[in-house]
Amino acid sequence: MLQFRAVILGIVVLLQQQIPPVAPLPPQPFDEWLGGVRAEALTRGIREATIDQAFAGLEPLPIVVERDRTQAELVLTLDRYLRQHLTKKVIDTAAAMRRTHADVLTKVQEKYGVPAEIVIAIWGLESNFGRFSGVRPTIQTLATLAYDPRRSTMFREELFDALKILDNGDVEPAKMRGSWAGALGQPQFMPSSFLLYAQDFDGDGKRDIWHSAPDVFASIANFLAAKGWTAAGRWGREVTVPGSLLARLPEVAPLQTEGCLAKRQMSVPLPVETWQKLGIRAVGGAALPAADHGVEAASLISGVKRHFLVYPNYRAVLEYNCVNAYGLSVSLLADRSIKSPPPKKSTTHANTKTHR
């Protein structure tokens, strides 16, 4: 029997040596692939005129694929990242922008229940307070990523959603620009998020997240509200943790095992009152505020030297970008922008020299 099996194995090896490997199929030409996308877009109810305008002269962008292949990894510790990104200039700018847009932000908060400082913090981190929201032509970017096999299915759907946005008349094709990954406007929404959450808060008939501050702020707030932000609570707070508790955390409150990386870097949730009994205190050593004691699901995030107790609203922020460096940057920037004082008025007297 062993000899028989050896003969069979020898035949198999011989056959493998004699049969040349099958060469991979050549990639489908882009124009041919785009024709299939065009046909499917028509079946999804997108007008032919919209498709013709969006796809005119379309070619893939190699730089987009290159960026997708070489995304930078986060190598800084959480403490260092926060220190480098939450500079005095950024905090002061957030405070100034909150004062500048106070009227519309008040109306947005009244409708969606999301604090002005949280909206401004996300706006600031996503687009540098509206100064930069991307220059890549969105249709060309998404078509390139959809044609590339790495994440074709996801970006193909985003491409169809981008065509729907054009079909709805919210923006002209030439003005539809964003990031290399297809994120749109000042909130950096993917097209699927735009369709679900973008708002026309200024009432001009368009959801203009590229140029309209009311639309931008309302869209960010609507997203967070839809993801579970509640007006009654805050995101959490920075805390101090006794060394004895840090050593016991794997037993008392182990890390979560499900969800994105950020959630797996958080402890399982416990009531705030339980954390208080375990020795968690506010920065400075005071007891956790009584207003926080009703929170039943608070998770601990521990950096090297800094620690944070985060509440359900923080999870809504993570829906925007599920990275704790991002979520805590938003949350801390919001808190610090409230405390940032307005600039002092200049005491320089005007030139009163008399001209003869």
Burial of 201 (0-12, 13-18, 19+ CB in 10 A): buried
Please check the confidence at residue 17 and state whether its pLDDT lies above 60.
no
Handedness of CA 224, 230, 232, 238 (dihedral sign): negative
- Our measurement of the distance from residue 98's CA atom to the centroid of its chain's CA atoms, rounded to an integer in Å, reads 21
For 176, the token pair is 């539809």
What is the DSSP code (8-state) at residue 305?
Answer: S
Tally of CA atoms within 13 A in the half-sphere of 227 that contains its CB: 21
Are 171 and 186 in contact, with CB atoms under 8 Å apart? no
**How would you classify the pairing of strands 307-310 and 236-240?**
antiparallel
In this predicted structure, what is the pLDDT of residue 8?
36
Distance (Å, whole) CA 172 – CA 53: 10
Q: Enumerate the domain spans of the chain.
A: 236-310
Q: What pTM was estimated for this model as a whole? A: 0.87
CA distances from 311 to 175, 296, 297, 308, 316 (A): 39, 9, 6, 10, 10
Express each pLDDT in 147-158 by its tens digit.
Answer: 999 899 999 999
**Over the chain, what is the mean pLDDT?**
89
Please check the confidence at residue 88 and state whether its pLDDT lies above 70.
yes
Of the ranges 15-24, 94-103, 224-233, 329-338, which one carries the lowest mean pLDDT score?
15-24
Express each pLDDT in 239-283 by its tens digit.
Answer: 999 999 999 999 999 999 999 999 999 999 999 999 999 999 999
Q: Rg of the chain's alpha carbons, rounded to an integer? A: 27
Express each pLDDT in 111-139 by its tens digit.
Answer: 999 999 999 999 999 999 999 999 999 99
Of the ranges 73-77, 119-123, 156-160, 177-181, which one carries the lowest mean pLDDT score?
73-77
What is the DSSP code (8-state) at residue 184?
Answer: B
Nearest partner of 303 among 327, 335, 279, judged by Cα: 327
- Our measurement of the distance from residue 295's CA atom to the centroid of its chain's CA atoms, rounded to an integer in Å, reads 25
Handedness of CA 222, 224, 227, 233 (dihedral sign): negative
Transcribe 35-47 into DSSP letters.
HHHHHHHHHTT--
In this predicted structure, what is the pLDDT of residue 73?
54
Give the residue-averaged pLDDT of 293-312: 94
Extract the runs of DSSP E, i.e. beta strands, from the chain: 136-137, 177-178, 236-240, 281-282, 299-302, 307-310
Express each pLDDT in 311-335 by its tens digit.
Answer: 999 999 999 999 999 999 999 999 9
In this predicted structure, what is the pLDDT of residue 92?
97
For 64, the token pair is 């987009």
Express each pLDDT in 24-74 by its tens digit.
Answer: 444 789 999 999 999 999 999 999 999 999 999 999 998 888 887 776 555
How many DSSP H helices and E strands does the chain contain? 17, 6
In this predicted structure, what is the pLDDT of residue 74?
55
For 22, the token pair is 């099958």
Q: Quick one: CA torsion of 228, 232, 236, 238, rounded to 10 degrees?
A: 160
Burial of 213 (0-12, 13-18, 19+ CB in 10 A): buried
